[in-house]
Every structure is written in structure tokens, then in C-alpha cells.
Chain A
Amino acid sequence: MSVEEERGIEQRGALLHAARLVAGERGLDEVLDELLGEAMRLLRADAADCYLLDPARRVLRCAAARGFADPLVGFVYPADRGVAALALERGGPVAVETYGEAVHELPHAAYRDFDRVLAAPVSWGGEVRGVLGAGLRREGGRTFEPGALDLLEALAGLASLALAGEERSDERARQARIGAALGRIAALLSEPLSAAQTLDAAARAAADALGGEFAAVLLPEAGRLVVAGAHRVPRGLRRREPPAVLVEAAADGRSVAARRVREDARFADGWRRAGFEALLAVPVDGGGRGLLAVFFADEREFGRDDLEVAGLVARAARAAILRDRAFESERIARALSQQLARSGNALEPELDPVAVLAQVAEQARALLGADAASVALLEGDELVLGAASGPDLEGVVGTRAPSTGWLGGDAVQLRAPVSSADVSADVLHGGADAVLERGHRAYAAAPLGGREGVVRGVLAVYAAEPRAWREEEIEALAALAGNASVALANAELYRRLALEHAQSSAILANVADGIVAVDRDGRVVVWNAAAERITGVPASEALGRTPFEVLRRELESGQGGTNRLVPIMRGEEEVWLSLSEAVMREPSGEVAGRIFAFRDISAERVLERMKSDFVSTVSHELRTPLTSIYGFAETLLRSDIGFSDDERQTFLGYIASESERLTRIVDALLDVARLDAGTLEVQPVPIDLRTFLSEAVDASSQPALGNGGRFVLDLDEEVPEVRADPEKLRQVVDQLLENAVKYSPAGSVVRVEARARPEAVEVTVEDEGSGIDASQAERIFDKFYRGDETQPGTGLGLFIAQGLVSAMGGRIWVRSEEGGGSRFTFSLPVANEAEAA
């Protein structure tokens, strides 16, 4: 807080205290003494005194004194001496800089050392009743501050009230009210209020003091008399042009009293019916001549007392106004800068250009306390109103005006703020501004800058009444326009980026490939939905970390590249990525970031591996019988060994059986090809499963059960005939029996069951093997799947069996517990009666 400001607050505090003193119930001498104390504090005076005039004897008697060594109270001297004489003579305050020179005859030796002295008359009832004085001693070398005389005058006004209260005890109650009114002024003044609020307070104090309905302080502004402060003034009256009688009275410094306004020809119709009957206006000088007007609800005679009271309030108000004016510029500047700072903060987070415009209009209105504000943007050679703030402005947004038009156009053309205190004087403004047309009279505008000094639009504020725009206000408006330009540019940039971002996000979200982008530090900045799905890591977890931190696997390679195979873990599951990488570089060649695109090729990879395994498995399966065939043939061809007939028979037997084995493998491959192509044909006939299964088991018994195990048949007594292709059915049963034996320990039992169900017969082959776990059971009918990869086999047996059963209209499934053997069951449809017969 500046020294000046502190001083202002201190002064108001002292005035408040003084006003309360007067309003209190204390004796006159005591009140005057206290007033002197306040005067010394307020004026930083070395001493102060108060003399009361005895008009009959033309002498001054000291009623109170402070700051003197000698007891001055009761001291009497002729009224034509000293500075007091000057004040009495002038009827107004006096400031003397060299006391010794100005005063030829010292009233009292106590005044000998004084250099600078102020004096203000204390008046009541139209007569001067005394003098309030304050002085600075020569030795201090100090001078009074500017405005000190006004303050002393204000205190003299309070002393007058105290005096009046003392003299007119019958009016004590009224005086108390007046005092309270003044106290209110002082109380309001003790807060850092604006000049407008001070004037409002003065109006209220006047209304209270005189018992008026409402009151106003009218001050000249832009050549007109306008309501600068008001208490309960109806809106209609506030906006009405003051009648000539008041304008002239203000200009001449005269009072106006109207007992019956209704019948008073001096007032125009609008004023006669404005809700009041009587009016009292007294001159108030607040940096220009104005009036303090009190309006009364009823007809009223005005006496001298009323004029006196009104005059006192006017004087108190004047002091307050003058003092506040001194601080007003600074206060406005500070308020504006605070408001600007606030608007800067408020504008910053606003990233929607339309919202920014609305915010700017709002801020401009608040900043200057204007009635309305608007932001118009240039479109071609027109200004299009983009946002407006203020009451009754429906429909103005979107209106257009030529950019070469009046005032707003000037701001564009001049690239500088423009203002008008009252546009009604200007005939050219018609149609230039939609907001102005909604009953606004004062206008100020600043250009909104764009890039490279291009003007983009106009920020304008409006006032309903003529208003002289202060220089600070115009500067603040221009500053806000500057802020707004930046905010607008940011918002537009952001919107463009947001749009691009939204577009790329939409693309990223919808591509099937995982897309991951990292910045120059290798931290993830993009992690799209597919990346989430493929890696199992949500974007929220990945962003800001490096891919290695997220996946425990480096994605980056030294030089980029396409379709690298990279395994990662998705939870417990290994996932293979086919990864492409693009390196983004700064113009300088520095790496600015990397983009990784990847697909989950685990499934493809599994299939690839199965295919590759299949090839090697089939190769193995073919090579094994071939080895026997080729080997025994070569062996038989040896001429160096003489083989017995038995040996020859055995060798040839192997050649034959291994050739059959080879044929079976080739047949299986053909079956798979047919199943894949959907060209497998079945020729179903009715089959008696009891007979069929008994034969199958019998035939299988010999070669299959080389390990000492046995088959047990468990067939229902009544098994209806089924529809099946006997060859294909045999293939299925053989496959299941072979598997059962293959995966069973030596000497174990393989059960074959047949159960009649409605519409179907279920055949089950159950072994006592190690069983299969749930994950194997899911895949066991898959092509190429082999439960135990060390076992010979193509991984096609069960795949083919499933295909065959399905082709015959049945289905196949497995139930198993690991270690508890397996139950493979297939169902076949029952043959209908006609077929069975």
C-alpha cells in the first residue's frame, strides 16, 4: 500500500471518529476538544484551536486548544486579529504560509512560533459562529499536505453541527439523525470505496438527514449534468435529462427549492411525475459544479434549517469527493490492473474461441463498470458481432456493420482505441453498432490485434448514460483487447490442434494395429486402443513411461525397420508382435520421437508353427515306414547273406505292413484335404453297432494291444441301428482305440461302451491313461494338434475323426481329468424305421 493510500485511510478513520463524536451525547467543549485532537492527527498539525465568536462584543473566545504550552481555553481576543479575522472576513477557509508576515498583531504569545496556519469558519444558521484553526511551528520546517484545508473545512462542518446541536436542544433528535448521516458518510469513507460509492453515500446521508425519499448527487460530465451518486433514485429518473433549472443552478452555484414539483413550471413533465412531490438541491463543488438533490415524497416547505443541513452535507460530501478524487486515479489504475490480471487468468483456460469472445465481453464490461460490452470480428470488410455482454442484448450477436463505419470502424482503421462520451451528438452513428442502438450513449473501443499487427476485430464497451472515459480506462480496455487477442489466438490454435488431435485420435482408435508413439525421451505419448488390447496394458498406465518400463521389452531398434518379430508378455501369455518402427527427426536430424505400429501375430505364428511342425511331423511319419520298406528291400537284395525263408517272410511282411501304413498316412492327408475343401463324402447305411463294435475290438486286439492291455465291451442290450458310413465309422473307432492304447500304461483296460439315447446312440472309448487337462481338451480336435509331441502321429487323427462324425450327422467330445483317464464319446443318429427295415 502506498503512503498516500495509507494516509487516505487514516484520514477517513479520523473523520469517522470525529463524526461519531458529534453524533454522540457529549458536551460541546468536550466534543470540540476531541475534534481538535482529530484535526491534529488528520492534518499532522503541531497545534489546533477552536474559537467561538461573540457577535455582540465582536470577540473570539477560545473554546478548545491543543498543542500549546499555555492554557488557552477561555482566552478572549478581538475578532479583528489573527488568521481568524481573515477567515471571518472571507467567510471561508484561509491558509497562511508565513504567519508572522500575515498577522501584524499576535492574539496571544502562544502563537509566536507558528509559521503555517490554516483556519476555517464554523458556521450555523447562515452566520459565522467561530473559527477552527490548525498550525505548524516554524522549527519543524514542514508544510501541510494538499487537501489539508478541505479536511479542516470538513471538521469545521462537524464543529458547526456540534454547535448547532448545543444551541438547538429541541432539535437534538434531528441533529442526531444528521450526525448519524454524517457518520455514515465517514463510515463509508473509511473503507476504500470508489468515488461513485462515496457519492452514493453522500446522497444517502442527505436523504437521511433531511428525511427525503431519495437523493442524488448530480455532477457535470461531458458537458452535461449526470447522476454521479444516488440513493434509491428510480431508474426512470436517473436516466432522464435534468431540467434546465437544475443545470443552471449547478452552473451558478445556487440552491433550488421546489415545494410542489407537480405544479412547478420549471420542471418538465417527466420530472413532475417521477415519484416525488418536493425537491431541495444545494450546490456541491466536487471537481466541477454540481448539485446535491434531495427528493421528498410529500409537499414540503423548506426552511433555513433545511438549507443549512443540506449545505452541511454538501460540504461534507465535497470534502469526501475532493479527497477521494485525489486517490481515484490511483485506485482506478489499481482496480483496472487487478481486473486485468483477473481477466488474464480467466481468459487463459478458455480454449473455445466462442467462449473466449463471450469471456472477453464479460471481462470488458466488468473491467470498466460499463453497461454493456461487445466483441466484433472482421470478416472481409464487415465487423461481425461475435459476443456481447449486458442486459437486453438478445439478437445482437451475428449482426454486421461495415468495417469502415463509424467509431468501431475507426478503431479498425486507426488501429488505436477510440471513445465517445456521448454519441447522441454524432449524427453519423446510426446503424453502426447493434449494441449502441439498444439505448447506449457512451462508447469506447479498442482494436483486437492479430498476428503481424493485423487488426482482427473490435472490443467495445457501452454506457447507458453519457460518460467521460478516463484515460486509464481506455488504456485498460486496450490492454484487455491485447490479452483477448492472445487468448483468442491461443483458442483458435488450440481448436485447430484439438480438431487435428480428434481426427488423429479417431483414426488411431479405429486402426486394428497397435500404435505407440514416444517422445524424444522415449516416453509414451500415444497408446491407442489396439495397443491396449494387444498388450493388455491400458493407456493410462503406459503414458509417460517408456515402452521398456511398460512391456519389459525394448521396442526400439537402432535404425527403425519394418515387420520385426518381437515377443512380449501379455500377463502370463506370450504374444508375438510384428513391429514396424518409424523415427521422427527434427530438421537438425535429432530424433524427435518414434512411432511403433504392431500387429499381434501370435495366432498366425501358432498356425505357422503348427504347419511347420506338421510338415516335419508328416515327413517323419512318412520316413519311418519308408525306412523299413527301403531298408528291407535293400537287405533282401544283399547277395552276401543267405536269408532263411522265414526271414524273407518277415522282411516282406514288414514291407507290406509298412506300405499299408504309408497308405493310411496318405489317406489321412487326403481326408484332411477333403474336409478342408468340404468334399468329403459319406455313404450312410443302417449299422448295428453291437456287431460293428465287437468286430472292431476283435480286429484291433491283436496289433493294438501289444502292451498287455485288453478291451472291455460294455454295450446296452438294445442298441438301435444308426445311420453311418461303415468305412468312415471304422476309421473313427480305430482312431479312438489306437489313441486309447497309445496313451495308456501297459496292461490297462480300454472300455468301449454303447448307450442308446433318444434319437441317438453314444459310443464311448475310455482309457486308464494319464488323461488330458482342460486346455488340451479344448484343442484336442484341432488340426495338427498333438497332445504329446514326442509321440509319433500327424496331429490329424482326432481332427479327421471329428470331421467324419460330423459328416455323418453326429458329434464327438471328450471328458477327462488329468491323471484320471479320458472318455472320448461320439454320437450317431438313430436310423429311421424304413431304413432299418
Chain B
Amino acid sequence: MNGDAQARTKVLVIDDEAPIRLLCRVNLEAERMEVIEASDGPAGLEAAQAGLPDVILLDVMMPGLDGWQVAELLLGDERTRSIPIVFLTARAELRDRARGLDLGGVDYVTKPFNPIDLAPLVRGLLDRVARGEREELRQEKLAELRASMSR
């Protein structure tokens, strides 16, 4: 693991809850990742366009623009389209998770989550994306969901 600046993974955390942003920052920075934060949808869009992160962790339930809308805007924007999105959702229903994947998210994390798992998740995801398997990853997650939905 080189500490070179150009090699550091940049993660954008969009969540209206300050404690959760802090939680993500502390645990990702501990894994030598760079974290930028946004406390609502519009700020998140701006940060994504300006900072061009490698991964976006996106909360769903936010006042104003919610996570679904932010994701659509990000995926509809030339500049941010390629950034993989991981939804952070407290909504337990399977259909809410499926919705995130349907919109184009590549994975989801259900609250409450163990923050220690965040960095490995981001890393693994970026490896797959780097191998050009972004769509496969998304389909795998969808298939997992469908499997649990049909149970």
C-alpha cells in the first residue's frame, strides 16, 4: 500500500447526519483513503462534479433532494456518470434496495453497518470496476436481492 497522493482513493460521503459522515471519514481515512463530505443532495452534486471522487457513498433519506434523485442526476451527468455509487440506506425493505440498483447504483449498505467493512467494500468494488465488471457487479447484487425477495 503506497501512500502516494495520486494512488489514494477518493470517497465522497453524502449524508445529512453529521455523525454518520464522521463515522465514514474516520474509518476510511484510517485505510488511507481521502474523504470528502456533503450534508445534502445539492452539496453532494456539487462536490461530485468538483472533486470527481472514485466512489460515492450516498444516503437515501435526506430532506430536499433525496438519494434516489441525487443518483439520477449524477448518472445523468456526463462528468459524474462513471463514478460508482453505493447507497447507504436505513430503509430495510428489499424493494428500496432494488430501486437503488435499478437506478444504476452498484451496491448498497444497510444501516446500521460496521464501518470497518466500508473500506474493503470500496476497494473490492473499485477492483471490479477497474476490471470493467461494473455492470456484472450490479447484476450480481440484483440477483442476490431477487433471490432474497423470492424467499
Contacts and interface: CB of A to CB of B under 8 A. Distances in A.
B36 to A, nearest CB: 19
B19 A630 contact: no
Nearest to A640: B30
Interface in A777-804: 788, 790-792
Nearest to B88: A627
B92 A631 contact: no
B30 A638 contact: yes
B34 to A, nearest CB: 16
Secondary structure call for the B interface: loop
Interface residues of B, number: 25
A137 B114 CA distance: 138
B124 interface: no
A616 B113 CA distance: 17
Given A626-B112, A627-B113, A790 B61 contact: yes
Interface residues of A, number: 26
A627 B26 contact: no
Interface string B33-64: 00000000000000000000000000001111
B92 A624 contact: no
A791 B63 contact: yes
A658 B19 contact: yes
B99 to A, nearest CB: 13
Contacts of B17: 624, 627-628
B23 A623 contact: no
Nearest to A620: B90
B115 interface: yes
A635 B90 contact: no
A632 B23 contact: yes
Contacts of B23: 627-628, 631-632, 635
Contacts of B90: 619-620, 623-624, 627
Contacts of B92: 616, 619-620, 623
A413 interface: no
B8 interface: no
A616 B91 CA distance: 6
Contacts of A742: 63
A640 B27 CA distance: 10
Interface in B74-116: 90-93, 96, 111-116
Interface in A42-66: none
Contact of B30 (A628, A629, A641, A650): A641
B63 A623 contact: no
Contact of A792 (B61, B96, B113, B114): B61
Query: Which one of B17, B22, B90 has the greatest number of beta carbons of chain A within 10 Å?
Result: B90
Ranked nearest first, the 10 interchain pairs of A and B with the lowest CB-CB distance are A623-B90, A627-B112, A628-B19, A631-B23, A627-B111, A620-B90, A630-B112, A626-B112, A654-B19, A623-B111
Interface of A: 616, 619-620, 623-624, 626-632, 634-635, 638, 640-641, 647, 650, 654, 658, 742, 788, 790-792
23 contacts: A616-B91, A619-B91, A619-B92, A620-B91, A620-B92, A623-B90, A623-B92, A623-B112, A624-B90, A624-B111, A627-B112, A628-B17, A628-B19, A630-B112, A630-B114, A631-B20, A631-B23, A632-B19, A632-B23, A634-B116, A658-B19, A790-B62, A791-B63
